Chains A and B, each alone.
Chain A
Amino acid sequence: GAVVSQHPSWVICKSGTSVKIECRSLDFQATTMFWYRQFPKQSLMLMATSNEGSKATYEQGVEKDKFLINHASLTLSTLTVTSAHPEDSSFYICSARLGQPQHFGDGTRLSIL
């Protein structure tokens, strides 16, 4: 089946650091990838839609300058949390579409000290 790899799985860093998370579709090409954020015991909240070769589309309330998305190839999208602060600590999950359904990565737990 379709596999999506997300890296790193866990990051701990100091406040003010920028953190990059990678999302790769391993065995298929994905023109569209999605980035979600999930707080403990809560549901997934869509942050943005990443489109290969064009600018990402951000959901309302998500700061595009804070969460930089780059989708440079059909198999890789990156999310960079710039100048991260403790309130950015969360579980970030990506997904990629190859028709239906979406295929999800294993998530990245980000902890900002």
Chain B
Amino acid sequence: SQQGEEDPQALSIQEGENATMNCSYKTSINNLQWYRQNSGRGLVHLILIRSNEREKHSGRLRVTLDTSKKSSSLLITASRAADTASYFCATDKVPGGTSYGKLTFGQGTILTVHP
């Protein structure tokens, strides 16, 4: 079963606006990752944030992690039409467990950026 819950399920914005997507999870993690998926394609890794990190930036992407609330957010600033895609968070469990190394994906957010 999928551990992560993401909201919103769908987000529609205009080019230039910021897009924020949230992800919640239930168990302790080693790291949390965000992926992007264009329609009918595979996943592209965007950013990884470790459990001891609180914030990470990569270009127009900003990811936060709050382990006390078991939640993360992905912010895309100055969005472009090319950012239109589905975005998934995925958690990697702590080492030592049988699930270590296996990613558990959230339900995803479908982002549409209108030109």
Contact = CB atoms under 8 A, between A and B. Distances in A.
B94 interface: no
A110 B43 CA distance: 17
Interface in A89-113: 91, 93, 95, 97, 100-107, 109
A46 B103 contact: yes
B102 A49 contact: yes
Interface stretch (B52-60, B64-72, B104-112): B104-112
Chain B residues touching A, majority SS: strand
B48 interface: yes
A34 interface: yes
Interface in A22-61: 32, 34, 41-46, 49
- Chain A interface size, under 10 / 10 to 19 / 20 to 34 / 35 or more: 20 to 34
B101 A43 contact: no
A43 B2 contact: yes
B31 A34 contact: no
A45 B102 contact: no
Tier of interface size on chain B: 20 to 34
A88 B64 CA distance: 37
Chain A interface, DSSP helix/strand/loop, else mixed: strand
B88 interface: yes
B40 interface: yes
Contact of B108 (A32, A43, A100, A106): A43
A6 interface: yes
Interface string B10-44: 00000000000000000000010101000011111
Contacts of A91: 40
B102 A107 contact: no
A15 B54 CA distance: 50
Interface of A: 4, 6, 32, 34, 41-46, 49, 91, 93, 95, 97, 100-107, 109
